[in-house]
Chains A and B, each alone.
Chain A
């Protein structure tokens, strides 16, 4: 018993999503709360288990649990809690249900075991939302599009191929991306740099919509995007899946193959191999081809791990490579060219559809190697050491003379090494948490041979940090969390100044962060999450030392080497409620975010050059204040029909100049009618949904910063359908997704290429997944 306990405890630490087994067929959800039959108090960390599916979940501190990805049907549910008699209940599952499960329990036996099963909330008080595998499959072509299905998350685009996530109005270096538990370190400073991540490498995405610098370090200002690692199998037998994807707009597609298994005779070993590729040609707007917007991607990953009662070791490697074209018509010479582009209804260059990718284009490659060792110390504590190395290569090709288009205009190599040591400790039932140290070293190198002055200089960055984050469960209904972090960064820069002599400035930044969070279960069906936390971000070298022409923007951008760190305090309140027996569910998130030293580009006159006139933009700091809310209402009218409405608002103010901030997402709302049915012939888990999205015109813009007025409001309609069927012992799941059904011509305020062309028109996507060799006993019953 003790061995199992430790194993479980440690594994939870490494695999935050374990317990919700990743079955891949269906989409129904059982939610609920486990309470004591006598005093109706929550039974923390109770296990809810479906033996027939080998699938289980562990309730949280407040007795709440979620079992997702279930097919419709009749299930035996086994509920276990140490100190209680195990009880079983039959549940007829036709649609999502909410359960209140009562157990008879003997309090005196509880204290010790409660700890051993503990799966503390990783983000106490912070609104966080996930996208599971089914939703990922059905919601788009890129990882960033999948993220944008979360309320409060939008996309900052540079044409149809390049997108960056925006959380509560902040993006780029103000959003932290954690891939496999490692900070994604690529060239995130430019709006035309999309994160290099394979949507097939994970089966769950989580977005934390709050300041989380305490736990994750700098840049976690708007929020954190977590690409969750997939747990390695531990039992013998090979299983896997093949996925295919066809896309109409762009006439392309892709595929993914994944194999995983255990090792015969070596219990505890597990492995996984995965490879994917995608190819798309030019996308189309209504009425014309968006020339040179094709894309090729290839990715692979491999993982191997060993796990026993004390050790949990994983080695993970992934590669992601991408080549993409940038809209031909967006390559312009000067301000006059830009103004001509804005007044023309169509892009000046529209060619025939092609798969060929020409300059301007980008090539990027991202490698990640991660080694992690977890060791259970005693019965309750756990020590985890993680080392990661990332190599990111980026080449950008411009349209140049005399065959130089084949020579990259920008050629950057960014190598990052990081080490983390975390000690997870148990002091008492009302105080447990983790304490950790991080170190990082990063080197940015301009690869010689471009024949162009580098946009950003060479630099070497080192950071070191210490943090402590403690959980303080007060009682059955209230759980608190508090944490602090200190982080020091040193940046050594090497560049040629305006007089062409080599200079080596050094910058040092020290920052501190705090966080206070609370989860409060007001009633069984309502919960409040509250968090106030700070975040920081030292200025990026591009903000300190940019000096020159930004081609796509037709602007001269000037850095300022005196800029200091951005520091923010963000407060969030998240209210979750279920009403009328769970038929109505509501969620509202409210937030305010104060950022001191918010760095942005401010216009500062124009400069005449031999290429014509260019506006000059200076990087300056101001004090910003952001606030807003995300709202979701879900009404289940019958077992088959569900209505869902969502709305998201963001406001951003420049406190110094008393005006609006540039490039804040416009207000938006989305409505969906979801029809789901259990079986039809050989098909099951059938779901059809019709969605309508309305994006308002952004009327809150600063004066004189933009080249043109914000684009008009638009509405988009979409239709999704998916279903599953068995194919012998295997399983086939497929779906279609139609987006921009009415082929609307529109431009989005958050698309930098709105100056040049309309956004993508109507699109249809067909996807399927064939899973084979899934064996029983994959997920060990927790009460074994």
Chain B
């Protein structure tokens, strides 16, 4: 009976192979890289500058500093005077990084792929585009705004990435046919007095 000997040899060989193959490394999982999410938008700042008097500046701010998840966003801001015309500038920040990163330049550089839309309820500043992308279509970073009635209301600012800027009425600020992906939605309470 040579079988048991052959078998023993084989089992020995196998055991040696298995043992030899075994890696003698750290049993724990490899350390993941720490990630600094540069492109995350946490904050929208809207600056209203009186067209007649550039020293009169009002600011609205919508911030979700801990990013998606965690605490809900917080809206803060000044009351706006009634019956005024403003230069309205938008600024987009990543305040989860330190120091904060200004992402406005990225959006401006890719203006053809971005567009802000403005919607209001009650008393709110009516905003119209004052900038254009490389195709002559609006982006919405630089605008003009008017307040025409006093009271309270809300202003909703939506940033769409890769919208269809050729869609019907999209260039005039109607979001209905814009498509694309929503990068930012800020609904800010407004007081006009």
A residues touching B (Cβ–Cβ < 8 Å)?
329, 331-334, 336-337, 348-349, 375, 377-378, 383, 385, 387, 399-402, 404, 417, 419, 421, 439, 441, 443-446, 448-454, 457-460, 462, 492-496, 498, 500, 502, 504, 547-549, 556, 607-612, 614
Residues from chain A with a CB closer than 8 A to the CB of B164 are: 348-349
A332 and B14 in contact (CB under 8 A), knowing A548-B68, A609-B73?
Answer: no
Q: Are the C-beta atoms of A609 and B68 separated by less than 8 Å?
A: yes
For the complex, is B99 an interface residue (Cβ under 8 Å from A)? no
Q: Are the C-beta atoms of A331 and B103 separated by less than 8 Å?
A: no
For the complex, is B136 an interface residue (Cβ under 8 Å from A)? no
Q: Are the C-beta atoms of A454 and B32 separated by less than 8 Å?
A: yes
Q: Are the C-beta atoms of B21 and A419 separated by less than 8 Å?
A: yes
Instruction: State in angstroms the CA–CA spacing of A397 and B179 once bound together.
Output: 20
Q: Are the C-beta atoms of A385 and B30 separated by less than 8 Å?
A: no
Partner of B182, one of A336, A444, A448: A336
Residues from chain B with a CB closer than 8 A to the CB of A333 are: 160-161, 180-183
Q: Are the C-beta atoms of B185 and A610 separated by less than 8 Å?
A: yes
For the complex, is B169 an interface residue (Cβ under 8 Å from A)? no
A316 CB to nearest chain B CB (Å)? 18
Q: Are the C-beta atoms of B30 and A445 separated by less than 8 Å?
A: yes
For the complex, is B106 an interface residue (Cβ under 8 Å from A)? yes
B68 CB to nearest chain A CB (Å)? 5
Chain B at the A interface: SS class:
loop
Closest B residue by C-beta to A616: B69
Q: Are the C-beta atoms of B32 and A496 separated by less than 8 Å?
A: yes
Instruction: State in angstroms the CA–CA spacing of A495 and B29 once bound together.
Output: 9
Q: Are the C-beta atoms of A450 and B35 separated by less than 8 Å?
A: yes
Q: Which residues B111-129 have CB closer than 8 A to chain A?
A: none
Binds A, one of B36-44, B49-57, B76-84, B143-151: B36-44
Residues from chain A with a CB closer than 8 A to the CB of B34 are: 496, 500
Residues from chain B with a CB closer than 8 A to the CB of A500 are: 34
Q: Are the C-beta atoms of B72 and A495 separated by less than 8 Å?
A: no
Q: Are the C-beta atoms of B73 and A453 separated by less than 8 Å?
A: no
| 12 further A-B pairs in the complex, CB-CB below 8 A; given A399-B181, A402-B109 | A333-B160, A348-B179, A349-B179, A444-B29, A460-B29, A495-B32, A496-B32, A502-B31, A547-B69, A609-B67, A610-B41, A610-B43
B37 CB to nearest chain A CB (Å)? 6
Q: Are the C-beta atoms of A443 and B37 separated by less than 8 Å?
A: no
Closest B residue by C-beta to A493: B29
Residues from chain B with a CB closer than 8 A to the CB of A331 are: 162, 181
Partner of A459, one of B21, B29, B44, B186: B29
Q: Are the C-beta atoms of A492 and B29 separated by less than 8 Å?
A: yes
Instruction: State in angstroms the CA–CA spacing of A454 and B37 once bound together.
Output: 11
Closest B residue by C-beta to A360: B181
A607 and B69 in contact (CB under 8 A), knowing A377-B6, A401-B39, A451-B36?
Answer: yes
For the complex, is B107 an interface residue (Cβ under 8 Å from A)? yes
User: Which 8 pairs of residues, A with B, have the shortest CB-CB distance?
Assistant: A333-B182, A348-B179, A448-B33, A610-B64, A612-B185, A494-B29, A333-B181, A378-B3
Q: Are the C-beta atoms of B183 and A400 separated by less than 8 Å?
A: no
A559 CB to nearest chain B CB (Å)? 12
A504 and B184 in contact (CB under 8 A), knowing A401-B161, A451-B36?
Answer: no
Most chain B CB neighbours (cut-off 10 Å) among A336, A445, A446, A609: A609
Instruction: State in angstroms the CA–CA spacing of A378 and B42 once bound together.
Output: 72
Residues from chain B with a CB closer than 8 A to the CB of A614 are: 68
Residues from chain B with a CB closer than 8 A to the CB of A460 are: 27-30
Contact mask for chain B residues 153-185; partner A; CB cutoff 8 A; 1 contact, 0 none: 000000011101000000000000001111111
Residues from chain B with a CB closer than 8 A to the CB of A332 are: 181-182
Partner of A458, one of B6, B31, B106: B31
Closest A residue by C-beta to B185: A612
Partner of B31, one of A334, A401, A462, A494: A494
Q: Which residues B1-51 have CB closer than 8 A to chain A?
A: 3, 6-7, 10-11, 14, 17-18, 21, 23, 27-39, 41-44
Q: Which residues B122-140 have CB closer than 8 A to chain A?
A: none
Q: Are the C-beta atoms of B69 and A492 separated by less than 8 Å?
A: no
Closest A residue by C-beta to B70: A498
Q: Are the C-beta atoms of B39 and A451 separated by less than 8 Å?
A: yes
For the complex, is B62 an interface residue (Cβ under 8 Å from A)? yes
B188 CB to nearest chain A CB (Å)? 12
Q: Are the C-beta atoms of B161 and A329 separated by less than 8 Å?
A: no
Q: Are the C-beta atoms of A401 and B6 separated by less than 8 Å?
A: no
Total A-B Cβ pairs within 8 A: 146
Instruction: State in angstroms the CA–CA spacing of A454 and B182 once bound together.
Output: 21
The contact sample of 10 A-B pairs, CB cut-off 8 A, is A349-B164, A385-B17, A401-B110, A419-B21, A443-B30, A452-B37, A458-B32, A460-B29, A547-B69, A609-B69
A609 and B72 in contact (CB under 8 A), knowing A329-B179, A334-B182, A496-B32?
Answer: yes
Residues from chain A with a CB closer than 8 A to the CB of B29 are: 443-444, 457-460, 492-494, 504
Instruction: State in angstroms the CA–CA spacing of A547 and B66 once bound together.
Output: 14
Q: Are the C-beta atoms of A453 and B35 separated by less than 8 Å?
A: yes
B49 CB to nearest chain A CB (Å)? 24
A715 CB to nearest chain B CB (Å)? 32
B178 CB to nearest chain A CB (Å)? 8
Q: Are the C-beta atoms of A451 and B7 separated by less than 8 Å?
A: no
B128 CB to nearest chain A CB (Å)? 23
Q: Are the C-beta atoms of A453 and B37 separated by less than 8 Å?
A: yes
A98 CB to nearest chain B CB (Å)? 42
A132 CB to nearest chain B CB (Å)? 35
Q: Are the C-beta atoms of B32 and A549 separated by less than 8 Å?
A: no
Instruction: State in angstroms the CA–CA spacing of A614 and B68 once bound together.
Output: 9
Q: Are the C-beta atoms of B68 and A399 separated by less than 8 Å?
A: no
Partner of A610, one of B21, B42, B179: B42
Instruction: State in angstroms the CA–CA spacing of A400 and B110 once bound together.
Output: 11
A578 CB to nearest chain B CB (Å)? 44
Instruction: State in angstroms the CA–CA spacing of A439 and B21 once bound together.
Output: 12
Q: Are the C-beta atoms of A610 and B62 separated by less than 8 Å?
A: yes
Partner of A504, one of B6, B28, B107: B28
Closest B residue by C-beta to A610: B64
Instruction: State in angstroms the CA–CA spacing of A500 and B66 once bound together.
Output: 12
Instruction: State in angstroms the CA–CA spacing of A84 and B21 once bound together.
Output: 49
Residues from chain A with a CB closer than 8 A to the CB of B107 are: 401
Closest B residue by C-beta to A558: B69
Q: Are the C-beta atoms of A492 and B28 separated by less than 8 Å?
A: yes
Instruction: State in angstroms the CA–CA spacing of A404 and B162 once bound together.
Output: 14
B96 CB to nearest chain A CB (Å)? 10
Partner of A457, one of B7, B32, B67, B179: B32
Closest B residue by C-beta to A505: B29
A452 and B35 in contact (CB under 8 A), knowing A387-B21, A612-B185?
Answer: yes
Instruction: State in angstroms the CA–CA spacing of A747 and B106 once bound together.
Output: 38
Instruction: State in angstroms the CA–CA spacing of A533 and B69 once bound together.
Output: 42
Instruction: State in angstroms the CA–CA spacing of A695 and B179 once bound together.
Output: 31
Residues from chain B with a CB closer than 8 A to the CB of A454 are: 32, 35
Q: Are the C-beta atoms of B183 and A611 separated by less than 8 Å?
A: yes
Partner of A400, one of B39, B44, B64: B39
A337 and B182 in contact (CB under 8 A), knowing A377-B6, A402-B110, A494-B29?
Answer: yes
Closest B residue by C-beta to A506: B28
Q: Are the C-beta atoms of A494 and B70 separated by less than 8 Å?
A: no
Partner of B39, one of A404, A449, A492: A404
Residues from chain B with a CB closer than 8 A to the CB of A349 are: 164, 179
Closest B residue by C-beta to A460: B29
Instruction: State in angstroms the CA–CA spacing of A373 and B107 once bound together.
Output: 60
Instruction: State in angstroms the CA–CA spacing of A329 and B181 once bound together.
Output: 9
B30 CB to nearest chain A CB (Å)? 5
Residues from chain A with a CB closer than 8 A to the CB of B186 are: 610
Instruction: State in angstroms the CA–CA spacing of A404 and B110 once bound together.
Output: 12
Instruction: State in angstroms the CA–CA spacing of A493 and B36 once bound together.
Output: 20
A450 CB to nearest chain B CB (Å)? 7
Instruction: State in angstroms the CA–CA spacing of A445 and B28 once bound together.
Output: 12
Q: Are the C-beta atoms of B32 and A612 separated by less than 8 Å?
A: no
Instruction: State in angstroms the CA–CA spacing of A404 and B103 once bound together.
Output: 13
Instruction: State in angstroms the CA–CA spacing of A454 and B33 once bound together.
Output: 9
Residues from chain B with a CB closer than 8 A to the CB of A448 are: 33
Closest B residue by C-beta to A449: B33
B34 CB to nearest chain A CB (Å)? 7
Residues from chain A with a CB closer than 8 A to the CB of B106 are: 401-402
